Structure 1
Amino acid sequence: MTTNTVQTIAQQSRAASRHLAYASESTRNLALAKMAEALESVRQQVLDVNAQEIVKARDDGQSEAMVKRLTIDDKTFNYMLSRLKKVAQLPDPLNRILTGHTNSARLRVYKKSVPLGVIGIIYESRPNVTTDAAGVCIKSGNAVILRGGSEALQTNTILTDAMIAGAVSAGLPEHAIQIIRTPGHEAVGELLKMDEYIDVLIPRGGKGLIKRIAEGTRIPVIKHYDGICHLYLAADADPEQAVALAVNSKCQSVQVCNALETLLVDSACAAQLLPLLQAAFAENGIELRGCEQTQKLLPGVTPAIEEDWHTEYLAPILSVKIVDGIQQAIDHINHYGSGHTDGIVTQSLSMARQFEEQVDSASVMINASTRLSGGGDYGLGSVVGISTDKLHVRGPVGPDELTTYKWVAYGDGHLRG
């Protein structure tokens, strides 16, 4: 793909964003409904093409984890449609008055929410990102440029073309949603140069991809590096609840960013809880890697090394550390964590509040699975990722997070004295 082609796409997106900025809420919601209808009409085509791409991925030696992320079946397709419908039902993130006042000279001043403009989404393997990203961007009045992985290029193209047709039928500009249709890294390199036209880039994928994007562009990047998620079982944790939450946090889906990677167990309850936890994790095929104290209570467990505390496994492996009290747990999380999702299991309101206040993470879970941190369970519908940054957004990135603001002043011939 030539520089001119990528530049044309970026220019078209910028022009479309100007129209989207003043498209009414009803028009944007109608577009989302039409996008869902158009996707339904190509369901079988998507499933057939996706099946072909899965065969190719396996032939090319892709891992089963990659194949799983690539796969769309009827259940996944229904989920994708439901996310579009959910995001359409959310309150309008645009034109909200965030603050305002009338000054002593009767000048009316207020701050209102507006779209960011043009969002570039660069992602790997997951075709559901195609529909999630388009949905969130249209809801928030942003034009979107999609660049998915080559392993799902045909699936993503069919999904995008259907959504474009749906959006246009609702009255949105043709280039509100665009996709880069050629494989290879050249087009991504050109996209990173389009700081004149693209306002924000959001990479979705492995740490290597995100690092390359962030270091290769002058465009602001919303980043999500690691999901080194912790769960601390406090001294007073209810044993049954503690085991259930730990197992769900780790085992419900091991390859996702909010899966548990390090379990911290208070020394006051470790002797009681660790054998129960070991048995529960063994039933789920999870390898435990323990600190020295853990090894004493669980003979035969794999020793944990320093690197384990820094590792996002995305695999059936869990590091376990015994800590002396809540402060040591908090200090461990703030030192080794990635600021994604960390939780505590406790019956003490004061300990819960201390954990909430002192743990520096985008999501803090109190007596809840780490797997609940995300757009769906937070009521956001679709999201385009989870940010471990603090600027411009933090945590799940939904429609509200893809807005900025402008200041407006209404006068009556007011002059500066």
Structure 2
Amino acid sequence: MMLTTAQKNQALIQLANILEENYQTILDANEKDLANGREKGFEEAFMDRLTLTKDRVFDFAQGLREVVELEDPTGKIKSEWTLDNGLNVSQVAVPLGVIGMIYEARPNVTVDATGLALKSGNAIVLKGGSSAIFSNQAIVEVMHQGLEKTEIPKEAVQFIASTDREATQQLFTMKEHVDVLIPRGGGSLINAVVNNATVPVLETGVGNCHLYLDAEADRDKALAILINAKTDRPAVCNAAETVLIHKDWLAHHSDALFQSLESHKVVIHGDEQIVELNPEATLAGESDWKDEYLSKDIAMKVVNDLAEAVDHIETYGTKHSEAIITENQHNAHVFMNLVDAAALYHNASTRFTDGGALGFGAEIGISTQKLHARGPMGLPALTTVKYMMQGNGQTR
């Protein structure tokens, strides 16, 4: 079934409208998930990702309208040339096919992933985590009602309602039915998909993101960026988890640094030099350098120079988002070119590693791999290519 861009856009607008009309149904279902979460003692950051409000439902409905405004990537000629024998060659963007989306406690992903899949001409199979089962089921039921009024069959959006892990394991190996898997969530989920799937995987990644405060970092700029990157939404993957500080910068600005973090209730896990300067800090261990906190905690290390900062990021980074704060253009250039990550920042917060913030509309995840797609994955990442040749009787 070939759909026009207008038909796909009309369907997304219909989905946005019906989600808003039925927001209370979705919130009622979400309350069941929240009650289960409270009973099981889920952490605050996890509950924040799970929680829906009227504003959040309207936000992801608005996200669908923003996808409508984006250029349809399907059918676009990416490159074209003519051979010496007159054969015309075109490389054309086409849908991936059927996308298997595996994710955890983020009900908004149900809508974001559906909108991007349908706009790019794909069908989608959704497998959300058991913690959001009632929310996701309600959202999909509402979207199915909307799709019945469009040219897109509701079967293009499938939801696996089972909370049995065997259902997820089965999805890993359905090569004859699913063209690509996209896992979105914590490290254990992503590793489980990558290590066990026989279906190709578009790998998203966890975000052990770093800020490096160089010797020539502007104090006010550095503190504003650090506070934003750490506290704006601590539970998301583009939040900063470690700050590396040049010893000379710290010598001049330690009081302002600690006061700023304390005023925002950030808990410091520091190396020996940090703990010596700030007895309120906890001595950091290996896990503090390696893992995401997803909370108002931050690891802090003093470094002697740029090279030591880069080495630390190379050792512990997850190739997600890394930032340098400095007024030294040479140091910024070296950092941006040496550090291996999907997104690099000079004098800006890592919180911008987001499809919406970078102008892609809704995103289906942030890829930290190097094949096909890297960084925030919007519509173009959900296409592949086919070569189309036009001839006039040419033979070889």
Change (3 A) 1:169 1:185: same
Q: CA deviation at 1:383?
A: 1.0
Q: CA deviation at 1:44?
A: 1.3
Q: 2: CA distance between counterparts of 1:306 and 1:394?
A: 28
Q: 1: CA distance between counterparts of 2:258 and 2:247?
A: 16
**Aligned residue in 2 for 1:246:** 226
Asked if structure 2 preserves the Cα contact closer than 8 Å seen for 1:274 and 1:298, the reply is no
**Aligned residue in 1 for 2:172:** 192
| 1:124 and 2:89 matched | no
Amino acid in structure 1 at the alignment position of 2:288: D
Q: 2: CA distance between counterparts of 1:352 and 1:317?
A: 26
| 1:304 and 2:284 matched | yes
**Aligned residue in 1 for 2:275:** 295
Between 140-149 and 218-227, report the one with greater CA deviation.
218-227
Alignment of 1:1-400 (within 5 A): 19=1, 22-400=2-380
Between 346-355 and 133-142, report the one with greater CA deviation.
346-355
Q: 2: CA distance between counterparts of 1:204 and 1:65?
A: 16
Asked if structure 2 preserves the Cα contact closer than 8 Å seen for 1:266 and 1:324, the reply is yes
Q: 2: CA distance between counterparts of 1:290 and 1:58?
A: 32
Q: 1: CA distance between counterparts of 2:235 and 2:392?
A: 59
Q: 2: CA distance between counterparts of 1:191 and 1:290?
A: 42
Asked if structure 1 preserves the Cα contact closer than 8 Å seen for 2:45 and 2:294, the reply is no
Q: 2: CA distance between counterparts of 1:44 and 1:306?
A: 45
Between 297-306 and 365-374, report the one with greater CA deviation.
297-306
Q: Secondary structure at the match of 2:217?
A: coil
Q: 2: CA distance between counterparts of 1:61 and 1:406?
A: 49
User: RMSD over aligned Cα, in angstroms?
Assistant: 1.5
Q: 2: CA distance between counterparts of 1:293 and 1:183?
A: 47
Q: 2: CA distance between counterparts of 1:281 and 1:135?
A: 38
Identical-residue share of aligned pairs (%): 39
Asked if structure 2 preserves the Cα contact closer than 8 Å seen for 1:93 and 1:140, the reply is yes
Q: CA deviation at 1:113?
A: 0.7
Q: 1: CA distance between counterparts of 2:254 and 2:76?
A: 50
Asked if structure 2 preserves the Cα contact closer than 8 Å seen for 1:275 and 1:298, the reply is no
Q: Deviations over 1:101-130 (max 9, x none)?
A: 111111111101111111001111111110
Asked if structure 2 preserves the Cα contact closer than 8 Å seen for 1:271 and 1:297, the reply is no
Amino acid in structure 1 at the alignment position of 2:320: H
Amino acid in structure 1 at the alignment position of 2:34: I
Q: Secondary structure at the match of 1:246?
A: helix
Q: CA deviation at 1:414?
A: 1.0
Q: Runs of 5+ in structure 1 lacking a partner?
A: 1-18
Q: 2: CA distance between counterparts of 1:161 and 1:186?
A: 23
Number of matched pairs: 396
Amino acid in structure 2 at the alignment position of 1:214: V
Q: Secondary structure at the match of 1:268?
A: helix
Amino acid in structure 2 at the alignment position of 1:273: H
Q: 1: CA distance between counterparts of 2:244 and 2:344?
A: 15
Q: 1: CA distance between counterparts of 2:370 and 2:384?
A: 15
Q: 1: CA distance between counterparts of 2:327 and 2:360?
A: 29
Q: Runs of 5+ in structure 2 lacking a partner?
A: none
Asked if structure 2 preserves the Cα contact closer than 8 Å seen for 1:84 and 1:382, the reply is yes
Asked if structure 1 preserves the Cα contact closer than 8 Å seen for 2:19 and 2:57, the reply is no
Q: TM-score under structure 2 normalisation? A: 0.96
Asked if structure 1 preserves the Cα contact closer than 8 Å seen for 2:26 and 2:138, the reply is yes
